[in-house]
Amino acid sequence: MEDFLEQSTRLMHQAAEIGKINPDVVELLSAPARATSFRIPLKMDDGSSRVFDAHRVCHTDALGPTRDGTRISPDLNLDECKALALVMSIKHAAGRIPAGGGKGGIAADPGKLSKHEFERLCRAYIRYLRPSGPDCDVPGADVGTDMQSMAWMLDEYEQITGHHSPVAVNDKPPILGGTLGGYEATGLGVFEVFQAAAEQIDFKLEGARVAIQGFGQVGSVAAQAFQKAGCKVIAIREIDSGVYAEEGLDIDELLKHREKEGSLENFPNTQPITNEELFACDCDVLVPAALQGVITKEIAEKVKARILVEAANAPTTLEADELLLNRGVTIVPDVLANAGSVHLCQMERTQGLADDYWGAETISEQRRQRLVHSYQQAAECAERHQLKSVRLGAWINALKRIEEAVIARGWC
Ligand code: NAD
């Protein structure tokens, strides 16, 4: 089976062929501009020493500095960072954001480190990476990192350089020059892009049955937004538990229940549900908001939903994607559906550079407008090329913008 990097690269070649992208540009984008791997020695609380593998990949800086993504997870490897950096380049370009794709991180399990060990590891990542600053490469948060991690990384960067430079790191807290709206940007964006897609196919939101895999930062905020819009969220599955209710779940109550009980289990008036059952359940909208590669061809054969909204990165394999499109399922692809956070990072940078900070309403409205516009442009591109796949529309638009920048710079 193809891995994530092979699938993303194949998708790029497919889009490049349809979009008639200059072959020299495609060759340039087939591998990252820069990829670095390094080792971080760390003194543990008990006095022992450990060494952690770390990486940073900058896919292309044709449109602007590479940005985003510092993942801390046990199995992280260089190929995963390369695939994610390519996807970030596409996500930025599809959203008309003047940035390239960056992704990196550390192979470590944050849950197995003490708070102090974790802080020292985040700070050491910046010392050993030696990022070249806000005009070159800007790390942001990803799985395993949050606002606090990014605050430590920014502080470390500023300690080293001796300059205050809030735009050197993204996803930092507002008090250090970050932006409002960080926690909810992706989850609300998922709903907003879904809404734009639903309008295009005259899909009625009121009473629509929604099933969501993942109830973390993205899945829980999206679930609240679906419910607020009149949809019925009938199923939610997390890593260790899942619940189904024919008449719809009360999302706020479910969040309170998990807070108190530590899992979704035994939420009143619900039945347990597994991941497989959730994917095959009788819903109108399916939202994978947890892991990549979960909707395989075998799973896709059982999907009953009319709309698939990819909140997670690359949750659908290319084979499953083709099968679902042929069955008439509308797929709202990851590079558009979960782009709320990249638009927010762009606003974070704009505010930081201008030293002028915006209110929550301005940020919310800007995010919605940018996301909806990107979706409409990708859908138009797909239509122009007589494609069912809005994903290919987004990738073609993105590659065309990167191509224009590469040619203008005289690189090809
Ligand atoms: P999170 O860690 O807050 O939540 C992850 C959720 O997935 C949890 O509810 C967890 O229980 C669930 N999960 C994990 N393994 C599972 C399994 N085997 N079966 C079912 N559920 C499982 O993460 P998040 O920030 O909500 O991100 C979710 C996805 O969205 C990730 O793929 C991430 O890369 C992607 N994404 C996140 C953002 C963002 O801004 N947070 C932006 C773009 C993409």
* Burial 205-237, CB ≥16 within 10 A → b, else e: beebbbbbbbbebbbbbbbbbbbeeebbbbbbb
Dist. CA 139 → ligand 1 center (Å): 19
Residue nearest ligand 1's atom 16 by CA: 239
Residue nearest ligand 1's atom 30 by CA: 312
pLDDT reported for residue 132:
84
pLDDT-flagged residues of the chain (< 50): none
pLDDT reported for residue 131:
81
CB-based contact 108:29 (threshold 8 Å):
no
Please tell me if the CB atom of residue 224 comes closer than 6 angstroms to any atom of ligand 1. Answer: no
Cα separation, 403 vs 385, whole angstroms: 18
DSSP string across 314-357: S-B-HHHHHHHHHTT-EEE-HHHHTTHHHHHHHHHHHHHHHT--
Q: Which residue type, as a one-letter code, is found at position 159?
A: Q
Cα separation, 309 vs 22, whole angstroms: 31
Q: What is the distance between the terminal CA atoms of the chain, rounded to a whole angstrom?
A: 33
Q: Tell me the catalytic residues.
A: 103
pLDDT reported for residue 214:
97
| Residue 408: how many other CB atoms lie within 10 Å | 9
Cα separation, 299 vs 293, whole angstroms: 11
Query: Which 8-state DSSP code applies to residue 52?
Result: E
Q: Would you give the distance in Å from CA 294 to the centre of its chain? A: 15
Helices then strands, each counted (H, E), the chain: 15, 13
pLDDT reported for residue 373:
98
pLDDT reported for residue 68:
87
Cα separation, 283 vs 223, whole angstroms: 14
pLDDT in tens, 163-172: 999 999 999 9
Dist. CA 2 → ligand 1 center (Å): 22
What token pair was written down for 352?
A: 């930081």
pLDDT in tens, 175-230: 999 999 999 999 999 999 999 999 999 999 999 999 999 999 999 999 999 999 99
Please tell me if the CB atom of residue 277 comes closer than 6 angstroms to any atom of ligand 1. Answer: no
Cα separation, 288 vs 305, whole angstroms: 12
Could you identify the atom of ligand 1 that is nearest to the CA of residue 338? 43
pTM of the model: 0.96
Please tell me if the CB atom of residue 275 comes closer than 6 angstroms to any atom of ligand 1. Answer: yes
Q: Which residue type, as a one-letter code, is found at position 8?
A: S
Dist. CA 411 → ligand 1 center (Å): 37
Residue nearest ligand 1's atom 2 by CA: 216
What token pair was written down for 263?
A: 């899992």
Q: Which residues contact 233 (CB under 8 A, 6 or more apart)?
A: 210, 211, 212, 223, 226, 227, 248, 249, 251
Angle 298-300-302 from CA coordinates, rounded to 5°:
85
Dist. CA 214 → ligand 1 center (Å): 6
Cα separation, 21 vs 64, whole angstroms: 20
Please tell me if the CB atom of residue 341 comes closer than 6 angstroms to any atom of ligand 1. Answer: yes
Please tell me if the CB atom of residue 223 comes closer than 6 angstroms to any atom of ligand 1. Answer: no
Pairing mode of beta strands 70-73, 137-138? unpaired
Helix (H) or strand (E) holding 255, with range, is helix 251-261
Please tell me if the CB atom of residue 184 comes closer than 6 angstroms to any atom of ligand 1. Answer: no
Alpha carbon of 262 to those of 240, 252, 357: distances in Å?
A: 10, 15, 37
pLDDT reported for residue 359:
97
Helix ranges, 130-184 (H) = 147-161
